[in-house]
């Protein structure tokens, strides 16, 4: 009933958005999609040509970074958000489930609430909000579906944005991803709602974002074959493959975020351009950013007794609080205020660089599970009661950055941040990056490099945690990391070659029993990466290959070699229908992929079984007709070839072969 109501609500919302967009059509717009009046009619008023621009805020919300509006067919068949983040993933095989990138540098890390780490792609962040500037209302409607119907996978998105006036924009987006799954007890449902607004004034700018996200997943604990001689892929039906948990283990994350960033320009200076025109620009800008982030997670098992009956090696060896049911609930809340002043590089005619200084304060609140009390009423009926523990930390940091964002050939940044008060006192980071552009014969090339030195205190929940099945009490040292990366690119040749290194000491990792540990060993994680897009006539081959080396695979396991390849034929029919037909391939060498631990939502190290050395191939057709993009895709088309287990993670199988399709439609009127 809940799912039906959600779908009805979404359909109603999409209809309202479409009606609103039609009502906002500029005078003179042809309702059939043309950019002029209908036949036999005269245009009333002046036609407004559609114009949609988009950008994100970077450098602590102080710089607008222009990004293209998503209208391309290339890569549209990659609908799963985790594969838009990283080319290979250690995950539970069903869209919306927990995941961890197999590329060490791309693993999601959220300081403050480690329960976000396995679901980062499904929780929008203010740093990733796309703001718009439009001359006409802009609507995007997107729908994905994968069968069969009773185990369907669906995604719905409705986005609407428009300018109230030439300086102020507002927008909303709702996304729902629901996947029942082809195996037992793996349903995943993710929702999020975003509202944003921006104002670009002569002196005063404002950016506002409101985010709500909910993740509700069944947790099956992975395959449990017991004494069976069969491999899981030998079962005739995926639903008959036995799993550890049955329809009573679930996890739910609720997240609410608010970001309000505003700035005021101070002072003016006249700057002469190359064409001798004079522009009046601000000397400096002051910023205030308020961010609020609240997240809760609850892990539940309704009937513990069934998991411990006649089981020699239960998934959770221990029960610490309640032998009847599991109710582990946590809360994280963070209020951040940041004040900044930026001296704009346009106004610095002597040194030609900008300067930014800031002070930031965090108030972090945590609530964790405590002890369990078995309370009885007058009829001796059990009344579950769970104690909780809570604590509050206040942290204050100062920092600054010098930068050069303007220019045609060379850009750079260098910054530092130091916590001087609170739980994180002594934490610091020093970061820098350079980018360049120059000519090589007829091509444009560039060198780039970035890196940093990071010192950070362990998160509170890395040091101490108590749940029904796993608990620990630690006093870890500060983690120290040096990270560098650099390379060479030729955009005109679609070529990029890079290499990187991580040096880590006092690294915190997760052991097989679900608890964290720390090592004083100096760990090294090295990588070399090649990205190249080949083109032969109308045949395209996009390639992204990476080699990784870990000095201690028992602590930081990574596959030695990983590759993503997309090969397709591209052409146009009838001068209007653009299409691509081809296949995607993902492959990585065998390694001891970390196991997902539902009780803590972490990926823990294991040495029982290697995962990998299996190619995942998807066949697809992409179509684009004016403002509509469509794809039809056979996921895992090579199932059974080779005849081997197709795990995406430890004891987590990929879904069998399935047919999927999707459509995305843009409206500018």
Query: Is 399 a residue whose pLDDT tops 90?
Result: yes
- Taking only the tens place, the pLDDT of each residue in 412-451 is 999 999 999 999 999 999 999 999 999 888 888 999 999 9
| pLDDT band, very low/low/confident/very high, at 232 (cuts 50, 70, 90) | confident
Q: How confident is the model at residue 273 (pLDDT cuts 50, 70, 90)?
A: low
Which residue did the predictor score with more confidence, 444 or 593?
A: 593
Which of 268, 261, 345 is closest to 58 using CA atoms? 261
Percent of the chain's residues with pLDDT above 90: 68
pLDDT at 384: 65
Six token digits for residue 216: 């509700």
What residue spans of 64-114 are helical by DSSP H?
Answer: 81-85
For residue 668, what pLDDT is reported? 87
User: Using CA atoms, how far apart are residues 444 and 435, in angstroms rounded to an integer?
Assistant: 13
Can you give the pLDDT at residue 380?
A: 72
- Range with the poorest average pLDDT among 97-106, 346-355, 486-495, 595-604: 346-355
Find out whether 342 and 440 touch, Cβ atoms under 8 Å: no
Give every CB contact of residue 378 below 8 A, 6+ residues apart in sequence. none
What pLDDT does residue 46 have? 54
CB 434 within 8 A of CB 373: no
Distance (Å, whole) CA 306 – CA 40: 74
- 379 confidence band (pLDDT: 50, 70, 90): confident
244 pLDDT above the threshold of 90:
no
13: helix, strand or coil:
helix
Q: How confident is the model at residue 648 (pLDDT cuts 50, 70, 90)?
A: very high
In the structure encoding, which two tokens stand for residue 63, read together?
A: 């710089």
Residues 6+ apart with CB under 8 A from 312: none
Q: Is the pLDDT of residue 93 over 60?
A: yes
- 501-529 pLDDT, tens digit per residue, is 999 999 999 999 999 999 999 999 999 99
Highest CATH level, class, for 2-32+45-313+336-379+394-667 = mainly beta
- Whether the predicted pLDDT of 96 surpasses 90: yes
In this predicted model, what pLDDT tens digit does every residue of 29-52 receive, in sequence order? Answer: 343 334 444 444 444 445 567 789
Model confidence at 106: pLDDT above 90: yes
Q: What distance lies between CA 110 and its chain's CA centroid?
A: 11
pLDDT band at 392 (very low <50, low <70, confident <90, very high): very high
Answer positive or negative: Cα dihedral of 598, 601, 607, 611.
positive
Instruction: Give me the pLDDT at residue 57, please.
Output: 95
Q: What's the whole-number average pLDDT of the chain? A: 88
Segment among 40-44, 349-353, 375-379, 390-394 with least mean pLDDT: 40-44
Q: Spell out a b/e string for 386-411, using b for 16 or more CB atoms within 10 Å of the CB, else e.
A: eeeeeeebebbbebbbbbbbeeeeeb
**373 pLDDT band (50/70/90 cuts)?**
low
Domain ranges of the chain: 2-32+45-313+336-379+394-667
Sorting pLDDT into bands at 50, 70 and 90, what band is 310? low
Mean pLDDT throughout 460-473? 92
What pLDDT is recorded for position 48? Answer: 62
The pLDDT of 323-348, averaged and rounded, is 90
Q: What is the pLDDT of residue 387?
A: 74
Residue 581: which of 613, 546, 540 has the closest Cα? 540
Poorest-pLDDT segment among 21-25, 125-129, 149-153, 604-608:
21-25
Beta pairing class for 52-58 and 63-67: antiparallel
The C-alpha atoms of residue 623 and residue 663 are separated, in whole angstroms, by: 9
Higher pLDDT, 343 or 236: 343
Report the pLDDT value the prediction gives residue 644, as an integer from 0 to 100.
Answer: 87
The better pLDDT of the pair 280, 241 is held by 241
- The CA distance from 79 to 86, in Å, is 13
Q: Residue 10 pLDDT > 50, yes or no?
A: no
């Amino acid at each position: 009933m809940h799912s039906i109501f959600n779908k009805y609500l979404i359909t109603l919302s999409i209809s309202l958005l479409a009606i609103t967009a039609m009502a906002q059509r500029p005078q003179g717009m042809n309702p059939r999609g043309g950019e002029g009046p209908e036949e036999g009619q005269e245009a009333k008023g002046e036609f407004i040509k559609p114009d949609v621009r988009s950008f994100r805020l970077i450098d602590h919300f102080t710089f607008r970074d222009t990004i293209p509006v998503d209208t391309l067919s290339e890569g549209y068949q990659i609908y799963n958000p985790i594969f838009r983040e990283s080319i290979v993933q250690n995950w539970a095989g069903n869209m919306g489930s927990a995941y961890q990138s197999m590329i060490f540098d791309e693993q999601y890390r959220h300081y403050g609430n480690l329960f976000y780490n396995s679901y980062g792609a499904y929780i929008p962040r203010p740093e990733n909000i796309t703001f718009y500037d439009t001359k006409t209302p802009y609507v995007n409607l997107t729908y994905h579906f994968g069968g069969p119907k009773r185990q369907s996978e669906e995604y719905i998105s409705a986005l609407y944005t428009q300018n109230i006036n030439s300086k102020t924009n507002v927008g909303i987006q709702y996304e729902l991803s629901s996947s029942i799954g082809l195996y037992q007890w793996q349903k995943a449902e993710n929702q999020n709602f975003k509202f944003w607004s921006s104002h670009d004034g002569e002196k005063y700018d404002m950016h506002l974002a409101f985010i709500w996200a909910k993740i509700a997943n069944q947790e099956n604990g992975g395959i449990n074959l017991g004494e069976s001689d069969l491999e899981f892929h030998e079962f005739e039906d995926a639903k008959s493959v036995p799993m550890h948990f049955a329809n009573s283990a679930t996890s739910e994350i609720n997240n609410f975020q608010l970001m309000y960033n505003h700035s005021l320009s101070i002072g003016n200076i006249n700057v002469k351009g190359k064409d001798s025109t004079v522009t009046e620009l601000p000397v400096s800008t002051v910023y205030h950013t308020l961010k609020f982030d609240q997240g809760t997670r609850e892990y539940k098992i309704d009937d513990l007794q069934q998991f411990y009956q006649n089981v020699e090696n239960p998934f959770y060896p221990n029960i610490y609080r309640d032998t009847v049911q599991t109710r582990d609930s946590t809360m994280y809340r963070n209020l951040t205020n940041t004040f900044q002043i930026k001296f704009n590089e346009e106004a610095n005619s002597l040194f030609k660089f900008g300067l930014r200084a800031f002070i930031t304060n965090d108030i972090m609140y945590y609530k964790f599970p405590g002890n369990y009390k078995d309370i009885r009423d007058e009829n001796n009926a059990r009344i579950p009661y769970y104690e909780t523990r809570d604590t509050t930390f206040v942290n204050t940091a100062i920092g600054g950055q010098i930068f050069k964002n303007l220019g045609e050939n060379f850009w750079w940044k260098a910054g530092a941040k130091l916590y001087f008060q609170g739980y994180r006192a002594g934490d610091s980071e020093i970061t820098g990056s350079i980018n360049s552009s120059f000519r090589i014969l007829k091509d444009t090339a560039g060198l780039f490099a970035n890196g940093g030195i990071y010192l950070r205190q362990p998160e509170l929940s890395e040091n101490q945690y108590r749940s029904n099945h796993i608990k620990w009490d630690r006093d870890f040292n500060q983690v120290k990391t040096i990270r560098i990366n650099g390379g060479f690119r030729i955009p005109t040749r679609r070529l990029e070659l890079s290499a990187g290194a991580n040096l880590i000491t006092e690294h915190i990792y997760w052991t097989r029993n679900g608890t964290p540990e720390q090592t004083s060993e100096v760990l090294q994680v090295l990588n070399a990466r090649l990205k190249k897009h080949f083109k032969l006539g109308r045949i395209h081959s996009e390639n992204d290959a990476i080699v990784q080396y870990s000095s201690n695979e028992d602590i930081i396991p990574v596959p030695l070699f990983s590759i993503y390849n997309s090969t397709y034929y591209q052409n146009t029919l009838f001068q209007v229908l653009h299409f691509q037909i081809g296949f995607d391939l993902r492959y990585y060498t065998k390694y001891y992929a970390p196991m997902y631990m539902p009780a803590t939502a972490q990926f823990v190290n294991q040495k029982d079984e290697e995962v990998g050395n299996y190619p995942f191939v998807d066949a697809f057709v992409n179509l684009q007709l004016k403002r509509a993009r469509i794809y039809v895709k056979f996921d895992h088309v090579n199932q059974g070839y080779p005849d081997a287990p197709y795990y995406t993670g430890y004891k987590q199988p990929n879904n069998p072969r399935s047919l999927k399709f999707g459509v995305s439609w843009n409206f500018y009127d």
